[in-house]
Structure formats: structure tokens, C-alpha cells
């Protein structure tokens, strides 16, 4: 007689709950390859996640897009560069932008992704209309990305443009003018004149501007 393994008796939703506790995407990929039931369990576990971070993982365009496609409930996405180098490019962002969860994202971080330019950011932003927090610091975006953000993200509250040296005063002015709910902007390391910050505050008096380690226009002292 053949006996069914104990773990094979678990309902698929309970199996998915167990897989949801696994943080390693490598382990999830291996679990997905065990059998058809485990593969469905992994997919179901991804569908219930509201936050995914690939920081610290060696991911590529295809594997990242494939995981995000199954994350139907996703609200927060972190694809920041790390020591091991998450190798996401514009092509990857274009694939990710097609996922069903993108219109519901409230937070996205692409910090330090050197392979990302306006092409990928504009494609992603065109569908990420619910964004509240965006970090594109350390990328090679230009004013084109800021124009797209200004047109598609009316509820944006914070944005990090750390060391985005191809962004100009024009892009910042359009961004602040159209994103009326913007509360904080990080412009540290950017090549924009100080007078630009005065113009931004004139448009949005409550806007907090972080530049060169200082918080400008803050009501409270920085400690």
C-alpha cells in the first residue's frame, strides 16, 4: 500500500500560509518545483502578500516579473540595489508594469538601480496611479520621468531623488506644481541651484526639502 505523506494532506490554503512565511525567493522557487500542489501553494502565498522586497537578492528581469505577476494583493514593492546586485533593467520594469497589482501599489523603491532610465520608469508610472511614496534615487532618470510622475501620481506624498543628476529645475517645478499632496522631497546630490528650492516652497509652502543632509522648510529642528 502507498501512504500519503503528512504534508500532502494539508489543505492548499494552509500550505500557502506556510509558504508565506518564507522570505527567501530561492527557497520559494525550489518549493515551487517539488510538485504541482506545492507550486499552486507558492502562487497562492504570493497572491496574499502586501509587501515584497528584492533588496539583497540576486534577481533578474524575468524572475522578478514572474513573481510580481502572482502578487495580486501587493501594495509595497522594493527593488532597491544591494550588495549582491538586483539586476533589474528597463525591460524588467516594462514587464512588471503589466502585473495586475501595479495600479494598487502605494510604495515603490528603485533606489540605486543603475540599469533603469526614463523608459522603464515612465512605463511603470503610467499604471501606478495610487502611489504615495516613490524612491528613484541613484537612477539615471531625467525630467521626462518627473513629468510622467506629475501626470499619473496625483496622491504622491514623498519622493526620493537622491543623486538624480540628470533631473533639472524644470522637472522639479512641474512635479511640485501638479502633485499638490507632496509633503517631502529628497534632492540631496542633485545639480540644481538653491534658488530652485525657494521656488518649490513658493508653490507648496508646507513642502519639506531634504538637501545635503539638511531638512529645509521644516517646522521642527533636525536631530
Break the chain into its structural domains and give their ranges.
Answer: 10-48, 50-210
Q: Half-sphere exposure of 35 toward its Cβ, with a 13 Å CA cutoff?
A: 7
CA distance 223 to 215: 10
Lowest mean pLDDT among 75-89, 123-137, 185-199: 75-89
* 198 membership: H or E segment, kind and range: helix 194-203
Residues 6+ apart with CB under 8 A from 191: 165, 168
**Is the per-residue pLDDT at 143 higher than 50?**
yes
Residue 4 binned pLDDT confidence (cut-offs 50, 70, 90): low
**What percent of the chain is predicted at pLDDT more than 70?**
87
CA distance 92 to 97: 9
Residue 60 or residue 91, greater confidence? 91
Residue 119 or residue 115, greater confidence? 119
In the prediction, which pLDDT does 83 show? 44
Smallest Cα–Cα separation from 160: which of 60, 80, 55, 98? 80
The pTM score is 0.83
In the prediction, which pLDDT does 107 show? 98
4: exposed, middle or buried (Cβ count in 10 Å: 0-12, 13-18, 19+): exposed
Average pLDDT, the chain: 85
CA distance 81 to 86: 5
Compute the C-alpha angle 155/161/166, nearest 5°: 120
C-alpha cell at 70: 502572482
CA distance 202 to 196: 10
DSSP output for 97-164: TTSTTGGG--EEE-TT-TT--HHHHHHHHTT-TT-SEEE-TTS---HHHHHHHHHH-TT--EEE-TT-
CA distance 211 to 223: 15
Lowest mean pLDDT among 41-45, 94-98, 144-148, 160-164: 41-45
Bridge partner residues of 107 (DSSP): 76, 133
Residue 222 binned pLDDT confidence (cut-offs 50, 70, 90): very low
In the prediction, which pLDDT does 95 show? 95
Q: What are phi and psi of 209, to 5 degrees?
A: -120, 120
50-210 CATH pick, 3.30.200.20, 3.20.20.30, 3.80.10.10, 3.30.1330.40:
3.80.10.10
What pLDDT, in 10s, does the model give residues 190-209? 988 888 988 999 999 999 99
Residue 25 in contact with residue 62, Cβ under 8 Å?
A: no
Residue 110 binned pLDDT confidence (cut-offs 50, 70, 90): very high
In the prediction, which pLDDT does 181 show? 97
Is 10 strand, coil or helix? Answer: coil
In the prediction, which pLDDT does 122 show? 97
In the prediction, which pLDDT does 156 show? 98
Q: What is the CA radius of gyration of the chain?
A: 20
Amino acid at each position: 500500500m502507498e501512504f500519503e505523506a503528512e504534508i500532502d494532506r494539508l489543505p492548499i490554503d494552509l500550505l500557502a500560509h506556510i509558504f508565506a512565511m518564507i522570505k527567501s525567493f530561492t527557497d520559494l522557487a525550489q518549493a515551487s518545483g517539488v510538485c504541482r500542489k506545492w507550486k499552486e501553494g507558492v502562487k497562492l502565498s504570493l497572491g496574499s502578500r502586501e509587501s515584497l522586497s528584492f533588496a539583497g537578492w540576486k534577481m533578474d528581469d524575468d524572475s522578478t516579473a514572474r513573481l510580481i505577476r502572482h502578487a495580486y494583493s501587493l501594495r509595497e514593492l522594493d527593488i532597491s540595489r544591494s550588495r549582491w546586485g538586483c539586476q533589474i533593467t528597463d525591460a524588467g520594469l516594462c514587464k512588471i508594469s503589466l502585473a495586475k497589482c501595479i495600479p494598487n501599489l502605494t510604495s515603490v523603491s528603485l533606489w540605486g538601480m543603475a540599469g533603469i532610465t526614463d523608459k522603464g520608469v515612465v512605463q511603470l508610472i503610467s499604471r501606478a496611479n495610487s502611489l504615495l511614496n516613490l524612491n528613484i534615487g541613484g537612477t539615471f532618470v531625467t525630467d521626462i520621468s518627473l513629468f510622467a510622475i506629475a501626470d499619473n501620481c496625483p496622491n504622491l506624498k514623498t519622493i526620493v531623488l537622491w543623486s538624480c543628476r540628470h533631473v533639472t529645475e524644470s522637472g522639479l517645478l512641474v512635479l511640485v506644481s501638479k502633485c499638490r499632496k507632496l509633503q517631502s522631497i529628497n534632492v540631496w546630490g542633485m545639480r540644481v541651484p538653491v534658488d530652485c528650492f525657494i521656488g518649490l516652497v513658493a508653490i507648496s509652502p508646507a513642502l519639506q526639502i531634504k538637501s545635503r543632509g539638511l531638512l529645509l522648510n521644516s517646522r521642527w529642528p533636525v536631530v
